[in-house]
Amino acid sequence: SRRLALRSPDDEAGVPVGSSSRDRQLEGPIATEHTDRSSSRRTDRAVLATLSAELDRATRAHGGAVVGHDDEPDLLLALDPADPAPAEPAEPAGYRLLRAAGRVTVTADHPTSLLHGWFHVVRLGAVAFDGPDTDEHHAPVSALRMLDHWDNVDVHPVMGQVERGYAGGSIFYDAGHVRADLSRVTTYARLLAAVGIDRVAINNVNVAAREARLLTDDLPEVARIAAALRPYGVRTHLSVSFASPVTLGGLPTSDPLDPAVRTWWRDAADVVWRAVPDFGGFVVKADSEGQPGPFAHGRDHADGANMLAEAVAPHGGLVHWRAFVYNHTQDWRDRTTDRARAAHDHFAPLDGRFAGNVVVQVKHGPVDFQVREPVSPVLAAMPRTRVALELQVTQEYTGQQRHAVYLGPAWSEILRWQPWGDAAGPDDAPDGGAPVTVADLASGRGPGGQGGGIAAVSNVGDDRFWTGHPLAQANLYAFGRLAWDPALDPPAVLDEWIDLTFPGAPAELRAAVHAILDESWHTYELYTAPLGIGFMVRPGHHYGPDVDGYEYTPWGTYHFADRDGIGVDRTRATGTGYTGQYPAPWREVYESLDSCPDELLLFFHHVPYTHVLHSGKTVVQHVYDTHFEGVERVERMVERWEDVAGLVPDDVARRVSDRLTEQRRSAVEWRDQVTTYFWRKSGIPDEQGRTIY
């Protein structure tokens, strides 16, 4: 029964933030005039109204009362804008949490930050008030934290409503239209605000004809989505097609250096910001997997991105330009083309040419969101560019939300990875300063200081549990928390999620969910493609094993197994030279068989099945052992769940049980196909004589 209060400077100005009714202005017609100041003000008022509603909601659920800010509240949320207010509205930063004699004050100079501070208190629960006196400042490590939805407006004949979506349909669209009822979108924004995410791209990076029109004809509908996200401080971004000037504007070309094209984009951007004054910007997949781009006009990616950057700059907008560019029509006979090299080959030479509001968005690995890949060398190759790390929360290659796979530990490894080893940058000696991490690069703390933030592909759909597998919610949670603070400990983040998801649950349930998820990423790695080789999935939908499925395809995802050995030689000495894209020490570490880590061995080297790993096992015996162990671990996951399923609501119990049953079936299938493949190729039997087919 705490007493809660909200204070904002508008209180004195008579703006009724103390009522729980939504700011009516928000539901009014789209403004035709705006300034940055008034648009940010609109967002601010929406978020303040939300905060006020959150306080009401909390007291209704847990007792207590909302009181005036002068009434000695136990918790005071105080908006305290910087004085004088900056000319440009700043990115929401952080909040201050002060606890004195059991009373808590959260202060921020931006309503969205105050909202994040509120959720911090919610996360802590009673502990927020019980601890010793404190004065803490909490700020996200990275200013840009974004989720990308690969949602289609139309149901795509192959990909469905959500490309690589494993949680039902889209929360935004239903069969060709923006949903009439967007209340779920606001609830989603609430989930995101609770973990500090404040930007969402609402449509697929593969922009088909129907989706392209979100930029023009459908703007009023986009504005409705933006209005549904806005109350929780989440800004809307759109994926756009580079060919829009032709397909939507009727121009003869989309050449980024053509003046008419530039004007078309500038006008288009003006209209977008008129419809959605706090719009975030554009996401672009260009010259990638069939999407149009600057190459067709003899231009490069800097030309393309900068043209869009110029169009959005007057509005303070961003262009997220994806670096996922490679030849997807490769001839498998061509041994000189290495897909892993492509992003670096295309983008590193462009460093320094991108405008300040372009963010080059780089997948965490050089290939495609595999369970294990080295970290992309592009992240460290562009010190004069704002580079963002792109992760995949949706589990395309990690079990598609049928397998319980907690990705927090995988992302944490990536974020903590040190591109220059123990050195602070390319020109520093190992003891020349704190080692720079990927998280530093993404947040502008690396050489060059040009952070582009963190983005990820969302795993959410209209499924009743949001993520298909109820336990996959842990990934959405962990993404937000790690994007906010990459130094967080993934098992601790998992426990936060468990405590918030199963409040008041018996210790037995909490321990079981923890045990099921904590090591699950590694478990998945054990029973799928071994030693960093990747893929081996069914082509097309990418679920389940198919060792040679991609071997003779145009996609550039090969393992090169023959009777003697397996793996891709990416060395400078005898292979594709990919190791040379890394700075020291990694270019040497990966080049040499002696120092290449076991888990990435087959990514970098082609070796005989009898090659002995650092672990002391041969490659082939490692494959047998890991695959049998992986299945045993899944068996234990199933048993752990059976012990506690009765402690959760029936629908959750049933859904998790069904998914675990499928995970076990699929893991057995993976084990048997992969072990059989290696046995048939190598003729080397399992030392332990287990059943191989």
148 binds ligand GCU (CB under 6 A): no
The minimum distance between CB 301 and ligand GCU, in angstroms, equals 15
- 163 contacts ligand GCU (rule: CB under 6 A): yes
Tokens of 3: 């007493």
Q: How far is the CB of 390 from ligand GCU (least distance, A)?
A: 8
Phi/psi of residue 95, each to 5°? Answer: -145, 160
At CA 533, angle to CA 577 and CA 580, rounded to 5? 15
C-alpha 395/C-alpha 164 separation (Å) is 8
By CB under 6 A, tell whether 324 contacts ligand GCU: yes
In whole angstroms, the minimum distance from the beta carbon of 448 to ligand GCU comes to 25
Residue 108: how many CB atoms within 10 A of its CB? 25
Directed axis angle between helix 619-644 and helix 520-527, to 10°? Answer: 130
3-state secondary structure of 582: coil
287 binding ligand GCU? (CB under 6 A)? no
Q: Alpha-carbon distance 195 to 189, whole Å?
A: 10
Sheet strands (E) in 171-287: 173-174, 177-178, 199-201, 235-239, 281-284
Helix segments in 576-618, DSSP class H: 586-591, 601-604
Q: Is 364 in the site for ligand GCU (CB under 6 A)?
A: no
Identity of the residue, 300 or 368, whose beta carbon is nearer to ligand GCU in the bound complex: 368
**Interface with ligand GCU, residue 368, by CB under 6 A:** yes
Shorter beta-carbon distance to ligand GCU: residue 115 or 367: 367
**Residue 404: partners with Cβ closer than 8 Å, 6 or more residues away:** 469, 471, 472, 516, 517, 520, 637, 656, 659, 660, 663
Give CA–CA dist 143/411, Å, rounded. Answer: 18
Q: Does 285 bind ligand GCU (CB under 6 A)?
A: yes
Using CB under 6 A as the binding criterion, the count of chain residues that bind ligand GCU stands at: 9
- Tell me whether residue 165 or residue 374 sits nearer to ligand GCU (CB atom): 165
Q: Which is nearer to ligand GCU, 206 or 663 (CB)?
A: 206
CB of 23 to ligand GCU, least distance (A): 37
Q: Judged by CB under 6 A, does residue 677 bind ligand GCU?
A: no
Q: Is 205 in the site for ligand GCU (CB under 6 A)?
A: yes
CB of 289 to ligand GCU, least distance (A): 6
Residue 338 as a binder of ligand GCU (CB under 6 A): the answer is no
Q: Does 559 bind ligand GCU (CB under 6 A)?
A: no
Closer residue to ligand GCU (CB): 324 or 590: 324
211 forms part of the interface with ligand GCU (CB under 6 A): no
Q: Which of 420, 445, 358 is nearest to 588 (CA)?
A: 420
Rounded to the nearest 10 degrees, what angle do helices 183-195 and 473-484 cross at?
A: 50
From the CB of 324, what's the least distance to ligand GCU, in Å?
5
Task: State which residue, 398 or 682, has the beta carbon closest to ligand GCU.
Answer: 398
Q: Which are the catalytic amino acids?
A: 289, 368, 396
Minimum gap (Å) between residue 306 Cβ and ligand GCU: 21
Determine if 450 is a binding residue for ligand GCU (CB under 6 A): no
Instruction: Report if residue 655 touches ligand GCU, rule: CB under 6 A.
Output: no
Question: Count H helices, E strands: the chain?
Answer: 21, 20
DSSP states of 333-365 as a string?
A: T-SS--GGGHHHHHHGGGTT-S-TTEEEEEESS
Q: Residue 206, interface with ligand GCU (CB under 6 A)?
A: yes
Residues that bind ligand GCU (CB under 6 A): 163-164, 205-206, 285, 289, 324, 368, 396
